[in-house]
């Protein structure tokens, strides 16, 4: 075997892949070589010297670090002989002479590689009698992370992570010799979206997270593996709780998705789960007293009565359901069935006016896997700033461009996190994307070089909406172009939690479970299984809100949905909610929207229920329960089941797992997906087949492009930290939102007489706001950028036409 070599490790002859590092090869065959600085996802630095081993060479024994030495044929290695043991004891003694040994008050105590290595490989005692090195005890290096330099063993994992992986090298070594320590730069905190990863990979308690410090001891923790629901990447996490409270989330290193990494939003955004603001009992609203607490029966009875009246009167056409992207597949399926069968409506939409065609998101053929990025020759990102909306995907693309040699083309109206790794970056005005696309297709104009970069396959296209000012059909046209490229695969991008699962379960006006089209061939068997289906054409979020504002919707369900803050046109949402006579909310918090609801059901949320979710590849994975919901919360499916019964329909839901079996029976794409497989042999998930009943094959749309009339267009886009419920109710993150602002290109600001102004009046067709001005020369000229849903910001609406005047 030419790709394998024979090595002898501690007397055992082994066949190992050529070129592999000794430390890995040994481990694969059961020989653990101790290490601190080596990390399988980063380049070796050989600094800690813990992995020293001895080789037999023709020139006598040689000492090498196993983490930097590739195996070669005939290599003879000793990992535990006397010399090696002495060196291991030596390194550990050296590391301990300046270690504070404050293990009893260290978060790492009990799960500390340094402790463990000292136990396994260390000398019994220290011979050091001098004074230890001292540093000021923990210093905050960001809002989220503290650094204790006395505990640091200088392994460079944190510095390498921020340089090699996340691309924001904000921590570095400083000084030299015995004085070397980790430091941030003056006036520059370690404000990385990914800082928590350094806490996880720090082999000692030198880096600790404010969210976890002193909250638990490792031996008190319960843990379960689950899937992160903050974005749609489906990152594997280890969910940890102590005394029925979620206290920590760690990334799990799995190849298909996050490779161990998490964004800080995923990592620290669990705090909302245990928030004191959680809803714990059902509420009903009355005109005088506002919301009052009631029993489940009272709330359910009231809702059933009012809904029953409406259904008997104007029928399902006047009932609508918004939300569902935060649900598990099982709950989403229950909601879908409830809407179609009990409410008799197709006005169902989980997308909250994010605007992309549900067929595009759910039923794209030639859908890429995240891991396809690793073998891509070229990657096109035309969509949101991945760093803001798809953080772990951002890391993967970054790695592909930086380490694996993929050409990277990024198209966005302004700077994105990937720009420093992009081989080609194109900016444009929202609304003029079609012109740029035409150039890209033709390989002409300013897109000619970018076109060339995409000439060699395999190509992966990550395609979505760059912002709310963008014509949603542009993404389909871009995807159509990607399909013409060699060996191309596509990842359609949407950001909401389990949106892909929700769409696959039919939480879209045009879809039924399993990507069956409403009114299509497959609908018949679903109707049979369900004993009925709504027939009328459904409205999407925008349609529902417009109908509601016009008085055509009489009952509106908000399922984990806060349209007032969460749809681009907040003013429309307000008109709608104020007009609908009866609003039912199923939620975990009283939001601006559920505050207007007549009945509020409190629901179990993330970490409180078991189920499955589907990520942007179509990968179905388990989420698991580690804590009970607070107070009287219940799973969504069971609330709906009860409500249905009161409305005279037996949905027949016995448990979430029973629903999962029903999904496998009813939804064609989900055949064979069972909890059992996901819990055992398919822990990394099952990728359901791509396409659907009416797979979108992307005929290029005729030049889409709502052009803004004036010379300015609005680019309204999401950033990682906003005023959404999960961030707002996670104290560690709440303060990190950048704040409302209008970003202008300096030239535009000058032209508008705003060069030295501090605030400006921003007016769109849908709303207006006075906002602080930020000058941003990465903007395409004529583009006005406003981050969406920042604390204290009035609804501005998506534009795209906008005027900016002195305030």
Partner 1 sequence: MTDQLRVITRRMVEHPADSHTLARYEATGGYRQARRALDMGRDELVELVKESGLLGRGGAAFPAGLKWSFLAPARPAYLVVNADESEPGTFKDRQLLERDPHQLVEGMIIAAVANEVHHAFVYVRGEYPKPARRLQRAVDEAYTAGYLGEGIFGSDYDLEVTVHLGAGAYICGEETALINSLEGRRGEPRLKPPYFPAAKGLYMMPTIVNNVETVSNLPHILEMGPEAYKALGHEADTGSFLFSVSGHVNRPGNYELPHGLTWRELIYDVAGGIRDGNELKTWIPGGASAPWFVPSDHLDLPITKDATAKAGSMLGSGAVVVMDDTTCVVRAAERIVRFFAHESCGQCTPCREGTTWLEMILRRIESGAGREVDVDLLLEVGGNISVGLAWPPRMTTICPLGPSAVSPIISITKYFKDEVLAHIHGNGCPLRGAQR
Contacting positions for ligand FES (CB under 6 A): 35-38, 46-51, 65, 67
87 interface partner picked from ligand FES, partner 1, ligand SF4, none, CB below 5 to 8 A per type: partner 1
- Which of residues 68 and 759 has its CB atom nearest to partner 1 in the complex? 68
Least distance CB 204 / ligand FES (angstroms): 13
Q: Which residue from 26, 95, 153, 508 is in contact with ligand SF4, where contact means CB under 6 A?
A: 153
Percent of residues in the chain assigned helix, strand, coil, to nearest 5: 30, 20, 50
Q: Which residue from 155, 303, 325, 494 is in contact with ligand SF4, where contact means CB under 6 A?
A: 155
What is the pairing mode between strands 222-227 and 768-775? unpaired
User: What dihedral angle (degrees, nearest 10) is formed by the CA atoms of 215, 729, 201, 97?
Assistant: -40
In the block, residue with structure tokens 């993330």: 606
**Residue 158 binds ligand SF4, judged by CB under 6 A:** yes
DSSP tally for the chain: helices H, then strands E: 26, 36
**Residue 182 binds ligand SF4, judged by CB under 6 A:** yes
- Which of residues 175 and 702 has its CB atom nearest to partner 1 in the complex? 175
**Residue 112 binds ligand SF4, judged by CB under 6 A:** no
Least distance CB 155 / ligand FES (angstroms): 7
- Which of residues 90 and 274 has its CB atom nearest to partner 1 in the complex? 90
Least distance CB 143 / ligand SF4 (angstroms): 17
- Which of residues 15 and 73 has its CB atom nearest to partner 1 in the complex? 73
Least distance CB 182 / ligand SF4 (angstroms): 5
What is the pairing mode between strands 516-517 and 511-512? antiparallel
The residues, any chain, with a CB within 8 Å of residue 752's CB and separated by 6 or more, are 744, 760, 804, 805, 806
- Which of residues 70 and 739 has its CB atom nearest to partner 1 in the complex? 70
The residues, any chain, with a CB within 8 Å of residue 30's CB and separated by 6 or more, are none
Q: What's the distance, CA 98 to chain centroid?
A: 39
Q: Near ligand SF4 by CB under 6 A, which window of 1-9, 24-32, 202-210, 360-368?
A: 202-210
Least distance CB 166 / ligand FES (angstroms): 21
Distance CA 23, CA 68 (A): 8
**Sign, Cα dihedral of 208, 209, 213, 217:** negative
| Structure-block tokens of residue 362 | 């759910």
**Residue 408 binds ligand SF4, judged by CB under 6 A:** no
35 interface partner picked from ligand FES, ligand SF4, partner 1, none, CB below 5 to 8 A per type: ligand FES
DSSP bridge pairs for 715: 785
By C-alpha distance, which of 106, 186, 197, 101 is closest to 145?
Answer: 197
Alpha helices of 272-390 — where are they, by DSSP H? 296-313, 329-337, 358-363, 372-375, 386-389
In the block, residue with structure tokens 């009631």: 294
724 interface partner picked from ligand FES, partner 1, ligand SF4, none, CB below 5 to 8 A per type: none
Least distance CB 152 / ligand SF4 (angstroms): 3
The residues, any chain, with a CB within 8 Å of residue 117's CB and separated by 6 or more, are 34, 36, 50, 92
Least distance CB 133 / ligand FES (angstroms): 20
Q: Which residue from 66, 95, 146, 204 is in contact with ligand SF4, where contact means CB under 6 A?
A: 204
- Which of residues 67 and 673 has its CB atom nearest to ligand FES in the complex? 67
Q: Which residue from 206, 279, 549, 744 is in contact with ligand SF4, where contact means CB under 6 A?
A: 206
By C-alpha distance, which of 234, 268, 233 is closest to 250?
Answer: 268
Q: Which residue from 207, 507, 518, 585 is in contact with ligand SF4, where contact means CB under 6 A?
A: 207
38 interface partner picked from ligand SF4, partner 1, ligand FES, none, CB below 5 to 8 A per type: ligand FES
Distances (CA, A) of 211 to 145, 148, 216, 733: 9, 16, 11, 9
**Residue 50 binds ligand SF4, judged by CB under 6 A:** no
- Contact set with partner 1 (CB under 8 A): 44-50, 52, 61, 63, 68, 83, 86-87, 89-91, 93-95, 97-98, 127-128, 130, 153-154, 172-173, 175-180
Cβ neighbour number for residue 143 with a 10 Å cutoff:
17
DSSP bridge pairs for 602: 587
CB 242 within 8 Å of CB 621: no
202 interface partner picked from partner 1, ligand SF4, ligand FES, none, CB below 5 to 8 A per type: ligand SF4
**Residue 157 binds ligand SF4, judged by CB under 6 A:** yes
**Residue 555 binds ligand SF4, judged by CB under 6 A:** no
Distances (CA, A) of 299 to 196, 230, 740: 42, 30, 38
Least distance CB 156 / ligand SF4 (angstroms): 5
386 interface partner picked from ligand FES, partner 1, ligand SF4, none, CB below 5 to 8 A per type: none
- Which of residues 119 and 180 has its CB atom nearest to ligand SF4 in the complex? 180
Least distance CB 206 / ligand SF4 (angstroms): 4
In the block, residue with structure tokens 């297709």: 441
The residues, any chain, with a CB within 8 Å of residue 758's CB and separated by 6 or more, are 772, 773
- Which of residues 50 and 322 has its CB atom nearest to partner 1 in the complex? 50
Residues that bind ligand SF4 (CB under 6 A): 152-158, 182, 198, 202-204, 206-207
């Amino acid at each position: 075997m030419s790709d394998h070599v024979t090595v002898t490790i501690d007397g055992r002859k082994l066949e190992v892949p050529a070129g592999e590092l000794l430390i890995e090869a040994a481990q694969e065959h059961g020989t653990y070589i101790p290490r601190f600085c080596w990390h399988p996802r980063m380049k070796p630095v050989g600094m800690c010297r813990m992995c020293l081993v001895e080789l037999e060479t023709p020139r006598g024994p040689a000492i090498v670090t196993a983490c930097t030495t590739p195996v070669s044929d005939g290599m003879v290695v000793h990992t535990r002989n006397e010399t090696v043991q002495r060196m291991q004891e030596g390194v550990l003694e050296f590391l301990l002479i300046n270690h504070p040994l404050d293990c009893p008050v260290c978060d790492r105590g009990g799960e500390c590689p340094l402790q463990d290595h000292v136990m396994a490989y260390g000398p019994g005692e220290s011979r050091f009698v001098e004074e230890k090195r001292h540093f000021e005890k923990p210093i905050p290096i960001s809002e989220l992370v503290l650094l204790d330099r006395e505990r640091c063993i200088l392994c460079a994992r944190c510095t390498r992570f921020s340089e090699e992986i996340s691309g924001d090298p904000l921590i570095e070594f400083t000084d030299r010799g015995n004085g070397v320590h980790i430091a941030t730069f003056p006036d520059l905190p370690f404000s990385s979206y990914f800082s928590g990863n350094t806490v996880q990979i720090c082999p000692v308690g030198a880096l600790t997270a404010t969210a976890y410090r002193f909250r638990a001891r490792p031996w008190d923790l319960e843990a379960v593996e689950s899937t992160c629901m903050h974005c749609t990447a489906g990152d594997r996490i280890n969910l940890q709780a102590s005394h029925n409270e979620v206290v920590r989330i760690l990334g799990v290193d799995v190849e298909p998705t996050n490779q161990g990494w998490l964004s800080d939003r995923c990592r620290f955004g669990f705090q909302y789960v245990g928030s004191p603001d959680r809803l714990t009992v059902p509420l009903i609203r009355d005109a005088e007293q506002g919301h009052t607490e009631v029993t489940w029966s009272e709330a359910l009875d009231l809702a059933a009565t009012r809904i029953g009246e409406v259904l008997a009167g104007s029928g399902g056409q006047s009932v609508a359901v918004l939300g569902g992207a935060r649900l598990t597949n099982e709950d989403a399926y229950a909601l879908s069935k409830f809407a179609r069968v009990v409410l008799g409506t197709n006005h169902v939409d989980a997308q909250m006016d994010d605007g992309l065609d549900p067929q595009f998101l759910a039923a794209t053929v030639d859908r890429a896997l995240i891991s396809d990025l690793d073998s891509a020759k070229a990657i096109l990102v035309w969509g949101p700033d991945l760093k803001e909306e798809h953080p772990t995907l951002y890391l993967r693309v970054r790695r592909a461009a930086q380490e694996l040699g993929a050409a990277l083309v990024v198209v966005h109206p302004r700077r994105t996190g990937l720009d420093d790794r992009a081989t080609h970056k194109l900016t444009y005005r929202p609304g003029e994307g079609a012109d740029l696309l035409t150039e890209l297709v033709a390989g002409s104009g300013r897109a000619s070089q970018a076109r060339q970069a995409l000439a060699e396959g395999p190509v992966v296209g990550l395609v979505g909406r760059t912002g709310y000012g963008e014509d949603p059909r542009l993404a389909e046209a871009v995807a159509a172009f990607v399909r013409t490229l060699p060996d191309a695969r596509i990842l359609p991008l949407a950001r909401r939690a389990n949106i892909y699962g929700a769409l696959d379960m039919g939480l879209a006006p045009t879809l039924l479970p399993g990507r069956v089209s409403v009114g299509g061939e497959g609908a018949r068997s679903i109707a049979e299984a369900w004993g009925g289906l709504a027939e009328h054409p459904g409205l999407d979020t925008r349609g529902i809100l417009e109908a509601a504002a016009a008085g055509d919707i009489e009952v509106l369900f908000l399922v984990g949905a806060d349209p007032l803050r969460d749809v681009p046109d907040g003013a429309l949402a307000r008109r709608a909610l104020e007009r609908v006579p009866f609003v039912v909310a199923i939620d975990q918090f009283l939001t601006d929207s559920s505050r207007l609801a007549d009945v509020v059901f409190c629901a179990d949320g993330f970490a409180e229920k078991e189920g499955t979710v589907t990520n942007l590849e179509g990968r179905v994975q388990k989420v698991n329960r580690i804590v009970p919901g607070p107070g009287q919360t219940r799973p969504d499916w069971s609330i709906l089941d009860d409500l249905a019964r009161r409305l005279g329909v037996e949905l027949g839901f016995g448990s979430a797992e029973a629903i999962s079996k029903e999904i496998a029976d009813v939804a064609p794409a989900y055949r064979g997906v069972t909890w059992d497989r996901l819990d055992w042999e398919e822990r990394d998930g099952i990728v359901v087949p791509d396409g659907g009943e009416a797979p979108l094959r992307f005929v290029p749309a005729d030049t889409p492009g709502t052009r803004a009339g004036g010379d300015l267009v609005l680019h309204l886009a999401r950033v990682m930290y906003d005023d959404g419920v999960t961030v707002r109710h996670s104290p560690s993150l709440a303060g990190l939102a950048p704040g409302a602002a209008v970003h202008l290109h300096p030239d535009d600001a000058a032209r508008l007489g705003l060069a030295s102004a501090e605030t400006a009046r921003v007016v769109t067709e849908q709303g207006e706001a006075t906002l602080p001005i930020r000058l941003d020369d990465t903007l395409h000229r004529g583009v006005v950028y406003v981050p969406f849903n920042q604390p204290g910001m009035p609804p501005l609406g998506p534009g795209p036409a906008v005027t900016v005047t002195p305030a």
